[in-house]
Chain A
Amino acid sequence: MAKMLIGSRIRERREAAGLRQSEVARRAGISASYLNLIEHNRRGIAGKVLLNIASVLDFEVSSLGDAAADELLRNLKIAAAGADPAVETERTEELIGRFPGWAGLIAGLGEKVRHLEHSVSALSDRLAHDPLLAESLHAMLSSVTAIHATSGILAQSEKMEQLQQRRFQNNIHQESARLSDLSRQLVGYFDRLSADQGKLSTPMDEVDAVLTAAGFYFPELERGDEAAVTRQMAAFDAAISNPARLILIAVLEQAAADIAALPLAEFVDAARVDGDSTAALAARFNCLQPTIYRRLAFLPPDTGLPGFGLIACDATGAVLLRKPLPGFTLPRYGAGCGLWPLYQAMSQPHVPMVALLQTTEARMFRAEAIASYLDPAAARTQPVLRSVMLFRSAAGGAASPGLQPVEVGPSCRICPRQACPARREPSIMADA
Chain B
Amino acid sequence: MGKHVLLIEDEPNIIEAITFILRQDGWRVSTHSNGKTAIEAVTKSLPDLVILDVMLPGRSGFDILQDLRSRQIWQNLPVLMLTARGQARDRDAATAFGASRYMTKPFSNSEMLATVRELVV
| Chains A and B come from one and the same complex | yes
Contacting residue for B84 out of A141, A157, A164, CB 8 A: A141
- Interface segment among B12-20, B34-42, B59-67, B69-77: the answer is B12-20
Chain B interface, >50% SS class: helix
Inter-subunit contact A138/B55 (CB<8 Å): yes
Interface string of A117-154 (1 = CB under 8 A from B): 00000000000000000000110011011101110110
Judge if A231 is at the interface, Cβ distance under 8 Å. Answer: no
| Contacts known (A146-B11, A149-B17, A167-B16); A138 close to B85, Cβ less than 8 A | yes
A150 touches B55 (CB 8 A): no
Chain B residue at smallest Cβ distance from A135: B55
CB-contact partner of A152 in B13, B84, B108, under 8 A: B108
Choice from A138, A145, A156, A168 contacting B106 with Cβ under 8 Å: A145
B interface footprint on A23-60 (CB within 8 Å = 1, 0 otherwise): 00000000000000000000000000000000000000
Residue-wise, chain B 77-111 has the 8 Å CB interface mask toward A (1 for contact) of 00000001100000000000000000001111100
Q: How far is the CB of A416 from chain B (nearest CB, A)?
A: 40
Q: Are B105 and A141 in contact (CB under 8 A)?
A: yes
Contact B55 A148, beta carbon cutoff 8 Å:
no
Q: Is the CB of B11 within 8 A of A142?
A: yes
Residue among A142, A148, A153, A174 making CB contact with B20, cutoff 8 Å: A153
B109 near A149: Cβ-Cβ < 8 Å: yes
Residues of chain A within 8 A of B14, CB atoms compared: 142, 145-146, 149
**Any A CB within 8 A of the CB of B21:** yes
Chain A residue nearest to B109 (CB atoms) is: A152
Which positions 141-196 of chain A face chain B at CB distance < 8 Å?
Answer: 141-142, 144-146, 148-150, 152-153, 156-157, 164, 167-168, 171, 174-175
**B105 CB to nearest A CB, Å:** 4
**Does A141 contact B106, Cβ atoms closer than 8 Å?**
yes
The docked-state distance in angstroms from the alpha carbon of A174 to that of B52 is 24
How far is A146 from B13 in the complex, measured between Cα atoms in Å?
6
Question: Which of B16, B105, B112 is close to A171, meaning CB atoms less than 8 Å apart?
Answer: B16
Q: CB distance B84 to A149 under 8 Å?
A: no
Known contacts A138-B55, A157-B24; A148/B108 CB under 8 A: yes
Chain A binding surface SS class: helix
How far is B113's CA from A156's CA once the two chains are assembled, in angstroms?
A: 14
B84 touching A146 by the CB < 8 A rule?
no
Cα–Cα, bound, A145→B106 (Å): 4
Tell me if A146 and B17 are in contact (CB < 8 A): yes
Measured in the bound complex, the distance between the Cα atoms of B109 and A145 in whole Å is: 10
Residues of A within 8 A of B24 (CB): 157
Number of inter-chain CB pairs below 8 Å: 55
CB contacts (< 8 Å) of A141 on chain B: these are 84, 105-106
A137 to B21, CA, bound (A): 25
Contact A149:B85 (CB < 8 A) given known A171-B16, A174-B13: no
Which residues from chain B contact A146 at a C-beta distance below 8 Å? 11, 13-14, 17
Given the known interface contacts A142-B84, A145-B105, A145-B106, the answer about A153 and B13 at a Cβ–Cβ threshold of 8 Å is no
Distance A126 CA – B18 CA, assembled complex (angstroms): 35
A48 to B107, CA, bound (A): 83
A152 to B111, CA, bound (A): 12
Task: Please name all residues of chain A whose beta carbon is closer than 8 Å to the beta carbon of B21 when the two chains form the complex.
Answer: 149, 153
Shortest distance in angstroms between A146's beta carbon and chain B's nearest beta carbon?
4
With a cutoff of 8 Å between Cβ atoms, the chain B residues found around residue A145 in the complex are: 11, 14, 84, 105-107
Give CA–CA (A15, B17) in the complex, Å: 90
Contact of A142 among B18, B105, B107, B108 (CB under 8 A): B105
Smallest Cβ-Cβ distance to A149: which chain B residue: B17
Q: Measured between alpha carbons, how far is A258 from B106 in the docked complex, in Å?
A: 60
Residues of A within 8 A of B55 (CB): 138
Contact status B106-A148, CB under 8 Å: yes
Instruction: Identify the interface centre among A146, A153, A168: most chain B CB within 10 Å of its CB.
Output: A146
- Bound state CA distance, A143 and B112, in angstroms? 17
A153 to B85, CA, bound (A): 24
- Closest approach, in angstroms, between the C-beta of A163 and any C-beta of chain B? 13
B34 to chain A, nearest CB (A): 17
Residues of A within 8 A of B108 (CB): 148, 152
The interface residues of chain A lying within 8 Å CB-to-CB of B13 are 146, 150, 171, 174-175
Q: Which residue of A lies closest to B85 (CB)?
A: A138
Least CB separation from B14: chain A residue: A146
CB of A253, distance to nearest CB on chain B (Å): 42
> Closest CB of chain A to B57's CB: distance in Å?
12
Give Cα distance in the complex from A110 to B112, angstroms.
54
B residues touching A (Cβ–Cβ < 8 Å)?
A: 11, 13-14, 16-18, 20-21, 24, 55, 84-85, 105-109, 112
- Additional pairs, 8, CB under 8 Å, beyond known A146-B14, A148-B107, A167-B16: A142-B105, A145-B84, A149-B18, A152-B108, A156-B109, A168-B20, A174-B13, A175-B13
Give 19 A-B contacts (CB < 8 Å), ordered by A residue: A138-B84, A138-B85, A141-B84, A144-B106, A145-B14, A145-B84, A146-B13, A146-B17, A149-B14, A149-B21, A149-B109, A149-B112, A152-B108, A153-B17, A153-B20, A156-B109, A168-B16, A168-B20, A171-B16
Top 5 nearest A-B pairs (CB, nearest first) are: A141-B84, A149-B17, A146-B13, A145-B105, A145-B106
